[in-house]
């Protein structure tokens, strides 16, 4: 099975712009989560989607949004970029069912976003 794929792998944007990142989960995985990884803050949870519904949301401003499509692919969008948004954005998929949270996550390689 192919692993989790993320596109693009690298992005350079300027402050005030917006960006869309894409994630394709492992085939058969219905749960997709997004994380922001920075040297200072570590891995911070952004949101989790299951069957096109946002199931959990982290403590990030409304500039960060996401969605999941019927084929389980997911996108996240960051509007009005700030310098502090520079980070590695990781997508993870898991088998997941509507109620459980004990399945391990499989991570993609990440999208490295640099905001200038």
Partner 1 sequence: AQSVAQPEDQVNVAEGNPLTVKCTYSVSGNPYLFWYVQYPNRGLQFLLKYITGDNLVKGSYGFEAEFNKSQTSFHLKKPSALVSDSALYFCAVPLVFGAGTILRVKS
Is 24 one of the binding residues for partner 1 (CB under 8 A)?
Answer: no
> Distance between the two ends of the chain, CA-based, in angstroms?
37
Closest C-alpha among 72, 20, 22 to residue 49: 72
Is 25 one of the binding residues for partner 1 (CB under 8 A)?
Answer: no
Closest C-alpha among 3, 1, 21 to residue 112: 21
The distance of closest approach from Cβ of residue 63 to partner 1 in the complex, given in angstroms and rounded to an integer, is 20
Beta-bridge partners for 4: none
Between residue 86 and residue 105, which ones bind partner 1 under the rule CB under 8 A? 90, 92, 101-102, 104-105
Q: Which residue in the set 35, 49, 50, 64 belongs to the binding site for partner 1 (CB under 8 A)?
A: 35
Asked if 111 and 13 count as a contact pair (C-beta separation under 8 A), the reply is no
Give me the residues that bind partner 1 (CB under 8 A), please: 33, 35, 42-43, 45, 48, 56, 58, 90, 92, 101-102, 104-110
């Amino acid at each position: 099975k192919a692993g989790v794929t993320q596109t693009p792998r690298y992005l350079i944007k300027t402050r005030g712009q917006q960006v869309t990142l894409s994630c394709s989960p492992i085939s058969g995985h219905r749960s997709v989560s997004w994380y922001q990884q920075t040297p200072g803050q570590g891995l911070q949870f952004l949101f989790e989607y299951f069957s096109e519904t946002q199931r959990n949301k982290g403590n990030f401003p409304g500039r960060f949004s996401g969605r999941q499509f019927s084929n389980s692919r997911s996108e996240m969008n960051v509007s009005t970029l700030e310098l502090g948004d520079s980070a590695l954005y990781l997508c993870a998929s898991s088998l997941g069912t509507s109620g459980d949270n004990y399945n391990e996550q499989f991570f993609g390689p990440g999208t490295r976003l640099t905001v200038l």
